[in-house]
């Protein structure tokens, strides 16, 4: 079950005018998946994230009604968690992310591009972090909008940025583009995966502008190499 991201401006989301896109949008060809960006392997990242030193005060649910059994773990240089992946299709309306394709669609994301526009979930690989709460305050660990993350699924690695904020008690969500890059079904209605995704966010990292994915990959690969070496 996908849970709608709670962006900083979510209270006004209901006032937005529905977006109408051409019916032909459903027939656009899918882009190739990424499989792996950079030279750091999924196995190396997962080996480094095997052991958990919990840094969150409590634990998160993967979805409404599920047990709160997901801790946020940490090292000197990163925080990470292992969860499911729900699909965030929020932000600027596109062919695959709009009110017709996603019943929980919001035209807002917690963070915006350099030009002031909201992010595009279809185009930009980003992850969602829970809003700050007594369970965990991501800002206390150097995590903010534009922070760089390595998202690992099976033998695949996708670099992304922190691009949206979700419910205070649920973790495990990423953009349409992140899922597509990992070979996960990105459909916001029934896509995602129930388990097996590791989210590694590098502390005090930040890409500016947030929409510069090439910069996220370059920064992510550099920090991932340091992470796996324990330096």
Partner residues linked to 175 by β-bridges: 88
Query: Which pLDDT does position 177 carry in this prediction?
Result: 98
* Short-list 104, 86, 49, 108, CA closest to 184: 86
- Could you list the beta-strand ranges (E) of 124-184: 126-130, 148-153, 156-166, 173-175
Region of 30 on the Ramachandran plot (φ > 0 left; ψ -120 to 50 alpha; else beta)? beta
Task: Report yes or no: 45 and 152 within 8 Å, Cβ to Cβ.
Answer: yes
18: its two tokens: 């529905």
Read off the pLDDT of residues 125-141 as tens digits, 9 standing for 90 and up.
Answer: 999 999 999 999 999 99
Partner residues linked to 197 by β-bridges: 83, 153
38/142 Cα distance (integer angstroms): 23
Residues of the chain under the 70 pLDDT cut: 1-38, 231
pTM of the predicted model, to two decimals?
0.86
Task: Report yes or no: 202 and 220 within 8 Å, Cβ to Cβ.
Answer: yes
Read off the pLDDT of residues 36-60 as tens digits, 9 standing for 90 and up.
Answer: 566 899 999 999 999 999 999 999 9
156/64 Cα distance (integer angstroms): 27
């Amino acid at each position: 079950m996908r849970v709608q991201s709670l962006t900083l401006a979510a209270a006004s989301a209901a006032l937005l005018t529905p977006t109408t896109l051409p019916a032909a949008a459903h027939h656009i060809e899918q882009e190739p998946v990424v499989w792996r960006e950079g030279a750091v392997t999924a196995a190396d990242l997962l080996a480094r994230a095997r052991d958990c030193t919990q840094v969150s005060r409590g634990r998160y649910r993967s979805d409404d009604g599920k047990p709160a059994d997901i801790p946020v773990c940490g090292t000197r240089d990163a925080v990470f968690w292992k969860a499911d992946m729900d699909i965030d299709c929020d932000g600027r309306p596109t062919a695959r992310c709009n009110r017709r394709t996603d019943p929980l669609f919001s035209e807002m994301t917690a963070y915006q591009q350099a030009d002031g526009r909201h992010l595009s979930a279809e185009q930009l690989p980003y992850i969602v972090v829970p809003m700050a709460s007594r369970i965990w305050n991501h800002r206390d660990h150097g995590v903010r909008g534009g922070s760089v993350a390595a998202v690992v699924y099976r033998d695949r690695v996708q670099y992304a940025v922190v691009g949206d904020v979700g419910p205070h008690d649920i973790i495990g969500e990423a953009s349409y583009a992140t899922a597509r890059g990992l070979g996960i079904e990105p459909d916001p209605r029934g896509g995602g995966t129930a388990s097996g995704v590791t989210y590694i966010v590098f502390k005090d990292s930040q890409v500016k502008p947030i929409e510069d994915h090439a910069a996220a990959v370059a920064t992510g690969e550099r920090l991932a190499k340091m992470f796996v070496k324990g330096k």
